[in-house]
């Protein structure tokens, strides 16, 4: 018990003093996850909005696949990206394996279905209410998608925050494609796994505390956005 308390105190000291290694890992984690979520948001909004408005053969199957991919195992996503970016893969010439870019690609694959599926559901709910009105005004399908995305922006913020929560806590995929290389591709989750196995509990605890803080902040933001959307809906 005394060892744990000492490790916890040391972890707090690392956070308070802004330990350079800790800050470096935190910044890289945020950079990778924020970039991945930004890209996934653009893709997810477009895919979800199109599936809600456009009618085409196989639409139901595409929607079902998108929903199923919300539960895509991270290690499978990592394996797919690894095979694509490895020297024997079709994109091996780009030499992106074991770089932050590879980690971003893996997280985009994981997060896009989440944002896309939630966007589709939000747009479909709004379309039931506004479809006849928008069609009567002569709005094109593209204009309807844009209108629904704007009108449902608070719900979409919730989708983005959910995607960020998935990305920042991801370990399997980024471990496979990033390699957990010190000062290059080491994120909070992969560093926690490594430092724990090495017995460096203080650094692992410090990273765990920061990761929990981010998770709580994301959840608090989700609740705040939902309450704000409810107030505006009845304003």
Tell me what pLDDT residue 128 has: 84
At residue 1 the predicted structure's pLDDT band, cuts being 50, 70 and 90, is low
**Tens of pLDDT, residues 72-83:** 999 999 999 999
Which of 86, 107, 94, 116 is CA-nearest to residue 168? 107
Average pLDDT estimate for 214-227: 85
Tell me what pLDDT residue 234 has: 59
Neighbours of 194 (CB within 10 A): 16
Angle at CA 69, nearest 5°, toward 42 and 100? 55
d(CA 9, CA 173): 31
Asked whether 75 and 176 are in contact (CB, 8 A), the reply is: yes
Angle at CA 35, nearest 5°, toward 219 and 165? 20
d(CA 144, CA 131): 8
Length of the chain: 235
Chain-wide mean pLDDT for the chain?
Answer: 90
Tell me what pLDDT residue 6 has: 85
The tokens of 112 are what? 């896009």
Asked whether 113 and 69 are in contact (CB, 8 A), the reply is: yes
Phi-psi region of 58 (alpha: psi -120 to 50; beta: other; left: phi over 0): left
Tell me what pLDDT residue 62 has: 93
CA dihedral 38, 81, 46, 60 (to 10 degrees): -140
Backbone angles phi and psi of 91, in degrees to 5: -110, 15
Tell me what pLDDT residue 235 has: 55
d(CA 85, CA 102): 8
DSSP 172-229: HHHHHHHTT-TTTT--HHHHHHHHHHHT-HHHHHHHHHHHHHHHHHHHHHHHHHHHHH
Tell me what pLDDT residue 142 has: 87
Tell me what pLDDT residue 5 has: 83
Asked whether 188 and 25 are in contact (CB, 8 A), the reply is: yes
Residue 40 has pLDDT above 60, yes or no: yes
d(CA 91, CA 87): 8
At residue 230 the predicted structure's pLDDT band, cuts being 50, 70 and 90, is confident
> Which pTM does this prediction carry?
0.91
The tokens of 4 are what? 């744990």
- In angstroms, the first-to-last Cα distance of the chain is 53
Tell me what pLDDT residue 3 has: 73
**Tens of pLDDT, residues 175-190:** 999 998 988 999 999 9
Residue 32 has pLDDT above 90, yes or no: yes
């Amino acid at each position: 018990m005394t060892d744990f308390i000492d490790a916890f105190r040391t972890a707090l000291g690392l956070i308070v003093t802004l330990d350079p290694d800790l800050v470096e890992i935190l910044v890289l984690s945020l950079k990778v996850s924020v970039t991945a979520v930004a890209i996934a948001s653009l893709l997810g909004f477009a895919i979800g909005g199109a599936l809600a408005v456009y009618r085409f053969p196989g639409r139901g199957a595409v929607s079902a696949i998108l929903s199923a991919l919300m539960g895509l195992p991270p290690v499978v996503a990592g394996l797919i990206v690894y095979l694509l970016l490895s020297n024997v893969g079709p994109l091996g010439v780009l030499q992106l394996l074991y770089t932050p870019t590879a980690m971003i690609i893996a997280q985009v694959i994981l997060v896009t279905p989440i944002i896309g599926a939630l966007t589709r559901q939000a747009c479909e709910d709004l379309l039931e209410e506004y479809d006849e009105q928008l069609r009567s005004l002569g709005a094109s399908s593209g204009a309807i998608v844009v209108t629904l995305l704007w009108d449902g922006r608070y719900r979409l913020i919730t989708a983005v925050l959910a995607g960020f929560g998935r990305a920042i806590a991801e370990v399997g995929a980024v471990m496979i494609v990033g390699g957990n290389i010190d000062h290059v591709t080491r994120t909070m989750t992969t560093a926690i796994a490594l430092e724990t196995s090495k017995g460096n509990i203080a650094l692992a605890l410090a990273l765990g505390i920061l990761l929990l803080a981010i998770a709580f902040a994301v959840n608090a933001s989700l609740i705040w956005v939902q309450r704000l959307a409810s107030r505006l809906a009845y304003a």
